[in-house]
Amino acid sequence: MAAGGSDMKAKKEKNSAQSGAKTYGAKKATVLLAVISSVLLAGVVGLVVYNVVTVRDKQAYMRDVENNYEQSFYELIQSVSDIEGKIGKLTVSTGRKNQETLLNEINKLAAVSTGQLAHLIQRDAGESRIMKFMNQLGDYADYLYKRVKKGETLSDGEKDKLGEIRLMVETLGLELSGVQHKMDEGYRLINGYSGKDAFLADIFDGLNETSVEYPQMIYDGPFSDSAEKTTAKGLDGENVTESGARAVIEELFGGKGIAGIDFLNESDGVIPLYNFLMITGDGQSVYVAVTKRGGRILNLNNFRSVGDQKLDEDECVTIASQFAALIGFENMSRVWVSDYDGVIYVNFTYESEGVIFYPDMIKIKVAADNGDVLGAETANYFLNHTERELSPPSVTAKTAASALSDRLVIDNVRLALIPEDGKETLCYEFYCEFGGAEYFVYIDAKTGEETNILRVIDGENGRLLY
């Protein structure tokens, strides 16, 4: 879940993992990707050299993507292993407190696994089945957790059902391990992304054929069918062709010069895409994903190195804001700013009538050496943005503030729509301080009850939200 702020600054943050985090003018850490560059030469010999360099650029880009996929894949293996172990403990646990802890941890691990799968998934039906299973597992664990927290303990029937789930998770772990062995022998996950075979199909073929049946969950949670029903609510317009998508890139970057645009492939996930690798006039390699519907920029990554910082944060934020407008985003409000080694990261959310809509978020990064836009991510906006009819708050900000701890000193308050348990909740967002620590507290604008608290922590990689 994201949190907003106005003037607070943090030094750095981890890349995409803190997608929902924000603070008032904060700085957070992220991890920069590998440096890729090429030099264009003139003449016949220069053209040959250019072609060689371009090939190397594409190969380096593919290596970066492969490394990214492999990291998510290995983290998925660990998450699945942890889930299997904790479910096994649950099936023999008799202590209510221990059951409560294990169920809470399983719910969180299922969410982590879903995120890792989302990064890896493209369109295979088997992958969607696993995504749905993980969503259901998280919902079921949460359902049991809330019951146990109220004083109940798990019944024998529920433990039997958990035993069935454990077998399913164990089977998934074995299939993942099988693919890991293939990777040790040279198999690359990027193969599917370049169209050589079904993306990650090897992982799920055996699982789909397994004799282990999915248990029938007794709790039909909000995410149980998300794999089938998720749509891009914020995308409109007619479908564009590959050449139409290429024209979008040419119009956007033509002013700075384009040496070439190579079509990589197309993907048919929740948001169908055309994927390109663009080589700029000065030899930079830029990955660009354009939506098939509407021809909008979904993802942009320029992997060049960044020199000494010459632009300040405010100048880079202005550039990011102008670029957001250039690619078609209006009424966006800055909610997070971070600086890492000369790259300024800016998060924007849609704002209407004084309300910040955190589900409708885009992210843009700017090089502080010359103002180049190095990256953009817009998927959250397209997945979530829609016209909403919000009921006025039932409680005032003053009344909502009375639900806060007396220890907290309020620095700022505003209305924010936040994602919560598969739905959207209108809240008062309070930015507060206590004992040298900073907090974001969310009070439901309808009930006046506390819904969430985020604390700013000075971690190993800068200031993070927990």
CB atoms within 10 A of CB 453: 16
pLDDT at 128: 56
The answer on pLDDT for 212 being more than 70 is: no
Residue 191 vs residue 231, higher pLDDT: 231
pLDDT digits (tens, 9 = 90+) for 409-427: 999 999 999 988 778 999 9
- When mean pLDDT is compared across 224-233, 327-336, 397-406, the lowest value belongs to 224-233
Long-range contacts formed by 85-91: CB under 8 A, 24+ apart: 87/162, 87/165, 87/166, 87/169, 88/166, 90/154, 90/159, 90/162, 91/159, 91/162, 91/163, 91/166
Tens of pLDDT along 118-167? 666 554 444 556 777 787 788 788 788 888 888 888 888 888 888 888 88
98, 101, 384 from 5: Cα distances, Å: 37, 32, 21
How much of the chain exceeds pLDDT 90, in percent? 32
Q: What is the pLDDT of residues 338-374, one digit of tens each?
A: 777 788 888 899 999 999 998 899 999 999 999 999 9
CA–CA gap between residue 16 and residue 347 (Å, rounded)? 11
Cβ atoms of 288 and 266 closer than 8 Å: no
Rounded to the nearest 5°, which phi and psi values hold at 115? -65, -40
Most confident of 42-56, 180-194, 328-342: 328-342
Q: Is the dihedral of CA 407, 408, 410, 411 positive or negative?
A: positive
Enumerate domains of the chain plus CATH numbers: 58-229 (no CATH), 397-465 (3.10.450)
Q: Which residue is listed with tokens 């479908």? A: 239
Three-class SS of residue 208?
helix
At 31 the pLDDT is 31
Q: Give tens-digit pLDDT for 430-440.
A: 999 998 888 88
Q: How far apart are CA 218 and CA 206, in angstroms?
A: 26
Mean pLDDT calculated for residue range 445-463: 73
